[in-house]
Structure 1
Amino acid sequence: MSDLARVHIEELRLSGYRAFENARLQLDDLTVLVGRNGAGKSTLIDALEFVRDALSDSLANALERRGGVQALLHHGAREAKELAVVIRLRLSRQYLAAVLHRTELPAPQSILADDATVTYGFRIGPTRGGLGFEVKKEVAHAAYQHFTRAGRGDWRFGGVVMPHGVRATSRDALALPFAAEHAALWRALLDALKTSVRAYSLSPSAIRAEPPVSGASILNRSGGNAGDVLHHLERNKADAAWINKHLAAITPGIVRVRSETAAGRRLIRFHQRYNKSKTAGVVFDVGDMSDGTLRCLAILLALRQKPTPALVCIEEVEDSVHPAALGVLLDAIAASTSRCQVLLTSHSPEALSHPSVTPEQVRVVEWREGSSQLFKLSPGAEEMSRPPRSVGRLLRTNALFTAKDSERVEGDFFAAP
């Protein structure tokens, strides 16, 4: 798909999910989460992945990977008996047209009149005795279509209960995959949610392991298949040149990075300039490179991977990266927001001082009154972080003051905007 055929995630809502009793995260093209260790930054990213996992695999497996429904329920000052997750996203006309082109599903002509803003979410809770779980409610809203599912697996499309053959198979299954078999809009929504989020907690040791060739074009969470993704991107000269240009600025002396294959394993080789020569004279493998260089390479690959996800989430973007290299990396991230959204977590004043980080893009996560809460900056902090000052300067002086009220959902949790 072209860059115009994009999915834009506008909002995440959480209720009773781990440390969050009630939270509403609005996402920009670039969003930066700031907060102390254990405040809940990673939980927000996990919730986005949870929806993806529940739809691309199954709700049961997504819960099991996280320790079961009881492990996810909020146990703060107010214990939650149910948890709910809602995502609001915008599907471009081009994206919808691409889905219609490859399917023969029915769709009204109005589906291509404009971008479609869709709100999708579900509420689940433990069964009696706490040994299992069930879907209490599942809702999808669009401007001109909707389905609502509650109770024993029935779901409604435009207010009409659909035939038995397209119900969810059981109380512990989501209905959206079944709805997607019958209508183009829900197919587009399902495809978007299954591919929209890629989150990274990168491990240089996993990258150094150089696993067997897999042919994957999507970077995995640890970055361990970086060689495969690099090999895939090398087929496009523009992608390869973009990665080489930024990596050379991050680690002076590197001319290019290339993938190779030996004994069934995908290798990564760094070609470095020798003395003042303009050509590569020395070749290093991943074992010779610093953690910072390997993390930067993986982030560049995540930003350029194909197909491009709607949202790339990078935890602790500054980890092991020199402040000068961090500036180059953030330049690359800012330039990539025309292709995908980026969500960063950071504790670094240097990262928050980058010109691309504006006060409106910063969300502060804090533990207050027995739960994690999400805040925008206070009006005073926003004003104090305008150029030539920065958000990073406020963080360095412990003056990153938040708005009085947290970002939360008021009224109907599943309401469309």
Structure 2
Amino acid sequence: MSDPARVHIEELRVSGYRAFENARLRFDDLTVLVGRNGAGKSTLLDALEFVRDALSDSLVNALERRGGIQALIHVGPRNAKDLSVAIRLKLSSRYLNEVWGRTGLGAQLGSLSEGAHMTYGFRIGPKRGGLGFEVKKEVASGPHQQGFIRAVRGSRRIDGLGLPHGVLATSRDALALPFAAEHDALYRALLDALKTSVRAYSLSPLAIRAEPPLGGASILSRNGSNAGDVLHHLERGKGDIDWINRHLRAITPGLDKVRTDIAAGRRLIRFHQRFSDGHGAFFDVGDMSDGTLRCLAILLALRQKPSPALVCIEEIEDSVHPAALGVLLDAIEASTSRCQVLLTSHSPEALSHPAVTADRVRVVEWREGTSQIFPLSPGAREMSLPPRSVGKLLRTNALFTAEGSDRVEGDFFTAP
């Protein structure tokens, strides 16, 4: 990553989570999920958000938003008794120092001048009798052989370097990491990273057209409804707005620039269209196509500040013309120096872009009563090389996968 302050998401692990009995998703700078409808692509994005929601709000609320523990636990040939989710990530040394300086908790970087690889996750299951749930295990592990924390939550207590005796979760249905983060710098850095690093988007042109009341957010909401506020924030930097306008001009013929305005307490988005005679006029979001609005929101997601470590975009091709799709993927490829990007797609045109190489593709398939994640087979990798592409393989039903799926072997939380 070009920005040494970034967090790098390395891997997501899920077990007993909705359609997934056991799977691991390894992340590249650009990762593309391909699979039929209902295969489980959206579930992987939801699992990332589930960890964030559980730590940002509460585990109770994160579960309730998803229908409760019983709605999440895997049902299949081997019904799961509980569910587990874990994220492996790297915290850079600059990021650690910034968090430690901001919190005043203090810590010594020591031999970890290159940063720290961390894994965080938890296992939860229904209480006996089926009423409610409980946390059965919570793990926050790092390079403990170098003096960093390795903590396992079993009986509501986290023990780790520098923690006072008796740091507890408040109850069996609460996670302990937020409480441990009040006392230890590394836990605080890990918590902050998990709460801010992942942003997933299912963008809605209808929500963008609603133009809600003025706000001060610089982070784009999941459906893109606050696109005007984010655009206004980026207008303060000439480089950012020039980048957005340059790509919009290539996406929508005749479009010259986009800017914000204010009316009746609302943040408006205005598009300037230039005509062949040299004149032009401004149009509002109600006059623009769904595709143009989605493209604007995707560009904002890539350029928002502070930049998330991982930006996830569902169905990149939705409402977007194939020619505009190429421009979007150019922008995404260029943005991988700022953040990682995860895309889901069914589009042969999207998968034909040069950025979508075989190494970046993960195929999600429903097999034997469970969703599984596969890399491409060696033969498919070879067939996807230029002048052919992954998109051509999809179009000819030749997107063959490796024999074995990507799954966690050994202990779910500590397996390499």
TM-score band w.r.t. shorter chain: over 0.9
Partner of 2:376: 377
SS state at 2:373 partner: strand
Rounded to whole Å, the distance in 2 between the matches of 1:53 and 1:221 is 13
8 Å CA contact retained: 1:96, 1:111: no
Letter matched to residue 152 of structure 1: S
Per mean C-alpha deviation after superposition, the further-off stretch among 396-405 and 209-218 is 209-218
Letter matched to residue 301 of structure 1: L
Letter matched to residue 4 of structure 1: P
SS state at 1:403 partner: coil
Correspondence 1:38 to 2:38: yes
Letter matched to residue 121 of structure 2: G
Partner of 2:153: 150
Partner of 2:408: 409
Correspondence 1:163 to 2:142: no
Partner of 1:81: 81
Q: Deviations over 1:120-150 (max 9, x none)?
A: 1100001112121111000111113234333
Letter matched to residue 407 of structure 1: D
Letter matched to residue 381 of structure 1: A
Q: Deviations over 1:144-167 (max 9, x none)?
A: 323433333111215x98522x21
Partner of 1:175: 176
Partner of 2:354: 355
CA apart distance, 1:372: 0.4
Partner of 2:191: 190
Letter matched to residue 98 of structure 2: A
Q: Deviations over 1:225-269 (max 9, x none)?
A: 100100111011100100000011000111110011100011100
Rounded to whole Å, the distance in 2 between the matches of 1:136 and 1:111 is 33
Count of matched residue pairs: 412
8 Å CA contact retained: 1:147, 1:155: no
Letter matched to residue 250 of structure 1: I
Letter matched to residue 81 of structure 2: K
Partner of 1:299: 298
Letter matched to residue 330 of structure 1: L
8 Å CA contact retained: 2:156, 2:176: yes
Rounded to whole Å, the distance in 2 between the matches of 1:83 and 1:307 is 32
8 Å CA contact retained: 1:199, 1:314: yes
Per mean C-alpha deviation after superposition, the further-off stretch among 76-85 and 2-11 is 2-11
- Pairwise mapping of residues 257-276 of structure 1 onto structure 2 (< 5 A)? 257-276=258-277
Rounded to whole Å, the distance in 1 between the matches of 2:324 and 2:105 is 48
CA apart distance, 1:92: 0.9
8 Å CA contact retained: 1:149, 1:175: no
Q: Deviations over 1:289-320 (max 9, x none)?
A: 00000000000000000110010000000001
8 Å CA contact retained: 1:106, 1:182: no
Letter matched to residue 339 of structure 2: C
CA apart distance, 1:186: 1.0
Q: Deviations over 1:328-383 (max 9, x none)?
A: 00000000000000000000000000001110100000000010011000000001
Letter matched to residue 341 of structure 1: Q
8 Å CA contact retained: 1:111, 1:185: no
SS state at 1:155 partner: coil
Letter matched to residue 177 of structure 1: P
Partner of 2:253: 252
Rounded to whole Å, the distance in 1 between the matches of 2:99 and 2:215 is 27
8 Å CA contact retained: 1:201, 1:315: yes
- Pairwise mapping of residues 389-400 of structure 1 onto structure 2 (< 5 A)? 389-400=388-399
SS state at 2:299 partner: helix
Where does the alignment leave 5 or more consecutive residues of structure 2 unmatched?
none
Rounded to whole Å, the distance in 2 between the matches of 1:109 and 1:238 is 34
CA apart distance, 1:111: 6.4
CA apart distance, 1:53: 0.3
Q: Percent identity?
A: 76
Per mean C-alpha deviation after superposition, the further-off stretch among 96-105 and 366-375 is 96-105
Give the aligned CA root-mean-square deviation in angstroms. Answer: 1.3
Rounded to whole Å, the distance in 1 between the matches of 2:155 and 2:277 is 72
Partner of 1:336: 335
8 Å CA contact retained: 2:208, 2:227: yes
CA apart distance, 1:416: 5.5
Partner of 2:365: 366
Letter matched to residue 78 of structure 2: R
8 Å CA contact retained: 2:163, 2:180: no
Rounded to whole Å, the distance in 1 between the matches of 2:19 and 2:114 is 37
8 Å CA contact retained: 1:96, 1:112: no
* TM-score using structure 1 length: 0.97
Distance 1:99 1:150, change over 3 A: closer
SS state at 2:341 partner: strand
8 Å CA contact retained: 1:16, 1:22: yes
SS state at 1:78 partner: coil
Q: Deviations over 1:56-107 (max 9, x none)?
A: 1111110010001110000011111110001000111111111122122132
Rounded to whole Å, the distance in 2 between the matches of 1:186 and 1:228 is 32
8 Å CA contact retained: 2:32, 2:360: yes
Rounded to whole Å, the distance in 2 between the matches of 1:115 and 1:358 is 29
Letter matched to residue 265 of structure 2: G
Partner of 1:241: 242
8 Å CA contact retained: 1:119, 1:416: no
SS state at 2:139 partner: strand
Partner of 2:385: 386
Letter matched to residue 150 of structure 1: R
